[in-house]
Amino acid sequence: MGGNLKSVARAAGVSLATASRVLSGSTYSVSAELRARVLAVAEELDYVPNAQARALISGSTRTVGMLVGDVGDPYFHAMIHGVHEVAAQESCLVTVMSTGRDPERELASFRELQSHGATIVIVAGSGVNDPAYQAGLEVRIRSQGRTGRTVLMGRHELDETLEAIHVEVDNVDAGRVLGRHLAEHGHRRVGVLSGSSIVSSTSDRIAGLAEGLGVAPEVVEVPQTRDGGYAGTGTLLRREPGITAIVGTADQMAIGALSYCADHDIGVPDELSVAGCNDIWVCRDLTPGLTTVHMPLEEMGAAALRLALGSDPGCRQSFPVQLVVRGSTGPAPERDQG
Amino acid sequence: MGGNLKSVARAAGVSLATASRVLSGSTYSVSAELRARVLAVAEELDYVPNAQARALISGSTRTVGMLVGDVGDPYFHAMIHGVHEVAAQESCLVTVMSTGRDPERELASFRELQSHGATIVIVAGSGVNDPAYQAGLEVRIRSQGRTGRTVLMGRHELDETLEAIHVEVDNVDAGRVLGRHLAEHGHRRVGVLSGSSIVSSTSDRIAGLAEGLGVAPEVVEVPQTRDGGYAGTGTLLRREPGITAIVGTADQMAIGALSYCADHDIGVPDELSVAGCNDIWVCRDLTPGLTTVHMPLEEMGAAALRLALGSDPGCRQSFPVQLVVRGSTGPAPERDQG
DNA sequence: CCCGGGATAGGAAACGTTTTCTTGGCGGGA
DNA sequence: TCCCGCCAAGAAAACGTTTCCTATCCCGGG
Instruction: Report residue B317: phi and psi, to 5°.
Output: -130, 130
Q: Report which of B75, B20, B81, B94 is spatially closest to residue B53, judged by C-alpha positions.
A: B20
Instruction: Give, for A110, the enclosing helix (H) or strand (E).
Output: helix A103-115
Asked if A269 and A254 touch (Cβ cutoff 8 Å), the reply is no
Give the separation between CA B264 and CA B90, rounded to whole angstroms: 50
Which residue spans within chain B are E strands per DSSP? 63-68, 93-98, 120-123, 149-153, 165-169, 190-194, 218-221, 245-248, 273-275, 292-294, 316-319, 322-324
Parallel, antiparallel, or unpaired for β B63-68 and B93-98?
parallel
Parallel, antiparallel, or unpaired for β A149-153 and A120-123?
parallel
Q: Residue B336: what pLDDT?
A: 47
Number of Cβ within a 10 Å radius of residue B91? 8
Give the separation between CA A246 and CA A248, rounded to whole angstroms: 7
Give the separation between CA B182 and CA B276, rounded to whole angstroms: 12
Instruction: Give, for A319, the enclosing helix (H) or strand (E).
Output: strand A316-319
Query: HSE of B173 in the Cβ direction (CA atoms, 13 Å)?
Result: 13
Angle between helices B131-145 and B103-115 (to 10 degrees): 10
- Residues of chain A with Cβ-Cβ distance to B286 below 8 Å are 285-287
Q: What is the DSSP letter of A47?
A: -
pTM over 0.85: yes
End-to-end CA distance of chain B: 81
Q: Report which of A303, A299, A305 is spatially closest to residue A90, judged by C-alpha positions.
A: A305
Asked if B149 and B120 touch (Cβ cutoff 8 Å), the reply is yes
Q: Report which of A5, A27, A4, A26 is spatially closest to residue A16, judged by C-alpha positions.
A: A5
Instruction: Give, for A72, the enclosing helix (H) or strand (E).
Output: none
Burial A190-210 (b: 16+ CB within 10 A, else e): bbbbbbbbbbbbbbbbbbbbb
Give the separation between CA B294 and CA A137, rounded to whole angstroms: 42
Number of Cβ within a 10 Å radius of residue B145? 15
- Residues of chain B with Cβ-Cβ distance to A95 below 8 Å are 63, 93-95
- Residues of chain A with Cβ-Cβ distance to B56 below 8 Å are 50, 52-53, 56
Residue numbers 29-68 of A with CB closer than 7 A to any atom of strand C: 47-50, 53-54, 56-58
Instruction: Give, for B126, the enclosing helix (H) or strand (E).
Output: none
Number of Cβ within a 10 Å radius of residue B296? 17
Extract the residue ranges of chain B whose pLDDT is less than 70.
1-2, 313-314, 335-338
Q: Residue B2: what pLDDT?
A: 66
Asked if B159 and B132 touch (Cβ cutoff 8 Å), the reply is no
Contact B115 A46 (CB under 8 A): no
Residue of A nearest to B72 (CA): A81
Give the closest-approach CA distance of A83 to chain B in angstroms. 10
Q: Report which of A25, A53, A52 is spatially closest to residue A39, judged by C-alpha positions.
A: A25
Q: Which of A3, A53, A285 minimises the CB distance to B56?
A: A53
Give the closest-approach CA distance of B224 to chain A in angstroms. 14
Instruction: Give, for A63, the enclosing helix (H) or strand (E).
Output: strand A63-68
Give the separation between CA A311 and CA B99, rounded to whole angstroms: 28
Residue A30: partners with Cβ closer than 8 Å, 6 or more residues away: A18, A21, A22, A38
Note down pLDDT in tens along chain A; length 338 residues.
568 999 999 999 999 999 999 999 889 989 999 999 999 999 999 999 999 999 999 888 899 999 999 999 999 999 999 999 999 999 999 999 999 999 999 999 999 999 999 999 999 988 888 899 999 999 999 999 988 999 999 988 887 788 899 999 999 999 999 999 999 999 999 999 999 999 999 999 999 999 999 999 999 999 999 999 999 999 999 999 999 999 999 999 999 999 999 999 999 999 999 999 999 999 999 999 999 999 999 999 999 999 999 877 669 999 999 999 999 999 999 754 43
Q: Residue A126: what pLDDT?
A: 81
Residue A171: partners with Cβ closer than 8 Å, 6 or more residues away: A126, A154, A155, A200, A201, A204, A205, A208, A321
End-to-end CA distance of chain A: 81
- For the CA of B314 and the C1' of D29, the distance in angstroms is 56
**Dihedral (CA of B192, B198, B200, B204) sign:** positive
Q: Residue B338: what pLDDT?
A: 38
The three-state secondary structure class of A156 is: coil
Asked if B257 and B271 touch (Cβ cutoff 8 Å), the reply is no
Query: HSE of A242 in the Cβ direction (CA atoms, 13 Å)?
Result: 9
**Dihedral (CA of A57, A58, A63, A69) sign:** positive
Q: Residue B134: what pLDDT?
A: 93
Give the separation between CA B53 and CA B291, rounded to whole angstroms: 52
Give the separation between CA B313 and CA B149, rounded to whole angstroms: 7
Percent of all residues in chain B with a pLDDT value above 70, rounded to a whole number: 98
Give the separation between CA A67 and CA A71, rounded to whole angstroms: 9
**Dihedral (CA of A218, A223, A224, A225) sign:** negative
Give the separation between CA A189 and CA A169, rounded to whole angstroms: 27
Residue of B nearest to A54 (CA): B52
Length of chain A: 338
Q: Residue A334 carries which side chain, given as an amino acid letter?
A: E
- For the CA of A31 and the C1' of D6, the distance in angstroms is 15
Number of Cβ within a 10 Å radius of residue B130? 13
Residue numbers 3-22 of B with CB closer than 7 A to any atom of strand C: 13-18
Q: Count how many pairs of residues, chain A against chain B, have C-beta atoms within 8 Å.
A: 118
Residue A105: partners with Cβ closer than 8 Å, 6 or more residues away: A99
Parallel, antiparallel, or unpaired for β A120-123 and A93-98?
unpaired
Q: Residue B124: what pLDDT?
A: 96
Give the separation between CA B256 and CA B252, rounded to whole angstroms: 6
Q: Residue A2: what pLDDT?
A: 66
Q: Report which of B302, B14, B116 is spatially closest to residue A61, judged by C-alpha positions.
A: B116
